[in-house]
Copies of this chain bind each other. A is one copy, B any other.
Amino acid sequence: MDVQPIYIGGQWRQSNYLDVFQATNPRTGAKLPDYFPISGWEDLREALEKALQVVPELASSGPEKIAGFLEKFAQLIEEKKDIISQIASLETGLPQKPRFSDVELPRTTDQLRQAAAVVREKSWCQATIDTKKNIRSKYGPLGGAVLVIGPNNFPLAFNAMAGGDMAAALAAGNPILAKAHPLHPKTTQLLAQAAAQALEESQLPPGSIQLIYHFRPEDGLKAIAHPAIAAVGFTGSRSTGLAIKEAAEKAGKLAYLEMSSINPVFLLPGAIQERGEAIAQEFFSSCLLGNGQFCTNPGFVILLEGKETQEFINRCVKLFQASDPGYLLSEQIKINLAKGIKDCLTSGAQLLCGGYPLEGPGFRFAPTLLLVQGEIYLPKPQVFQREMFGPVSLLVLGQDEEQVAKIAISLEGNLTASFYTHSQGKDEALYQQLEPIIRLKVGRLLNDKMPTGVAVTPAMMHGGPYPATGHPGFSSVGFPASILRFAARHGYDQVPQHRLPPELQDKNPTGHMWRYIDGQWTQASITKD
């Protein structure tokens, strides 16, 4: 049996595997041909030791080499665009075009290039200088590697080997230990091959980026506690996220987790009256994007009872019923959906449409709408606030504004919340009542826009209060914000110029880097009077 090699210490080499696995084609349910290793502790130990060795060398490699790597990596991914998109489609059941070749792959290379630009520009490190006291500080690397564990649903843009967490953690100067998602190992391998070539060409130390395809949960948790690891970046389910969080925090490591979110959408009555048809179409498109397998899927819609609301619901049902079910990433997702829906129905929700898996081959589920009355929802909000990962949304019907406010109060932390309101202000009073409640519960607040579509911009906030993530102060998308998750603050007290990093010396190292000097942001150098 030919088993695919892992990438450790700058070498592709055979794994000391415990077992092997294959990816599955979600369109047919058939196994794909390649065998990938499930690594044992020996592989992990070796990777961890290499990572530990490389920490100080990478930290002192300087931003130019890291930026050069990120740019070269982006270029090599583009050169392999066709094969990467094809394999990603094969392993996920999502369309090669436009999804991968025109959307997710360009997003991925754009992220890498944005990270490179930010690293080269240097302002991200927030150099802060008190010239009178000669005290200086800036953000720098953590002093350990970052274990990146990517999700199932974005095999490129959130891939442990090429996605946002990897780019951010490396940008701060930390080595990366990537764990592939077992649903798309071949895609990850292609990305790792590009990374390996870029690593060599950019002369970053071997071991700066390493890849293991799979390991046992207990070995993963053990790895987190190893001295080589400073932080974990994880995107995935709440149950796995919480296990990682516990292991990391117990060992004094940082855990950045994106776990689950139902992304409440408040459709206020004026908006429904004014443009119900258009909103129904928007909601439908957003909810079925990527076949509903998005972290920002609008899975929880709050409506006020009324004639127009009933018409709106009918429209949505028609759209959902008429849509062609896409493929799910895995059979497990199909099973989880059926269970989640069953639990909601048992607890008093009604099924409006869908609710059943489709016959094979492949993994499909009928697009599903559920409805629950506010008075049934309110006594047991936990039951209904569950992420049902896939083409499913729960409509929650408030009988009056007071009940809608209670529903808002009942919500957990989420990545996003959206409000749709009347364009001429008919919903303003209700908006002003609900917004202060919701503002403190979510990362990104949208107006008249569905939550899917997370732009990569410095102003993006993709994160939110627990349990959506583990820390509400950070964004996992957008530079420089996402880099700060993987950075330590380094202070210098009375350190002479020649021993300071260039970012903290009197002379502005680029001539245009932004620094916070004596309480003002400036691009100027410090000149002695």
Chain A positions within 8 Å of B, measured between CB atoms, are: 55-56, 59-60, 123, 128-130, 133, 135-137, 139-143, 245-246, 249-250, 252-254, 413, 416, 431, 435-437, 439-441, 443-449, 455, 457-467, 470-475, 481, 484-485, 487-496, 499, 514, 516, 519-521
Interface-centre pick from A139, A446, A463, A489 (highest chain B CB count, 10 A)? A489
Q: Is the CB of B465 within 8 A of A495?
A: no
Cβ 8 A contact of A440, one of B436, B462, B488, B519: B488
Name the CB-closest residue of B to A249: B249
Q: Is the CB of A143 within 8 A of B465?
A: yes
Q: Which residues of B contact A516 (CB under 8 A)?
A: 458
**Additional 15 contacts, C-beta under 8 A, given A142-B472, A445-B490:** A56-B437, A123-B521, A133-B459, A135-B455, A137-B475, A140-B439, A143-B472, A252-B466, A431-B499, A443-B488, A446-B493, A448-B494, A449-B494, A475-B489, A521-B521
Q: Which residues of B contact A139 (CB under 8 A)?
A: 473
Q: Is the CB of A519 within 8 A of B458?
A: yes
Q: Is the CB of B459 within 8 A of A136?
A: yes
Pairs across A and B, CB under 8 Å, 29 listed: A55-B440, A59-B436, A130-B460, A133-B455, A137-B444, A137-B475, A142-B440, A142-B472, A143-B465, A245-B249, A246-B250, A252-B413, A252-B466, A416-B493, A431-B499, A439-B490, A443-B489, A445-B490, A445-B491, A449-B494, A458-B519, A461-B489, A461-B491, A472-B489, A473-B487, A473-B489, A474-B489, A475-B491, A514-B521
Q: Is the CB of A445 within 8 A of B489?
A: no
Q: How far is the CB of A245 from chain B (nearest CB, A)?
A: 7
Q: Which residues of B contact A521 (CB under 8 A)?
A: 123, 514, 521
Interface-centre pick from A443, A465, A493, A521 (highest chain B CB count, 10 A)? A493
Interface-centre pick from A254, A436, A496, A499 (highest chain B CB count, 10 A)? A499
Q: Which residues of B contact A123 (CB under 8 A)?
A: 521
Contacts A60-B436, A488-B465, A489-B481 known; A459 to B135 CB distance under 8 Å? yes
Q: How far is the CB of A237 from chain B (nearest CB, A)?
A: 16
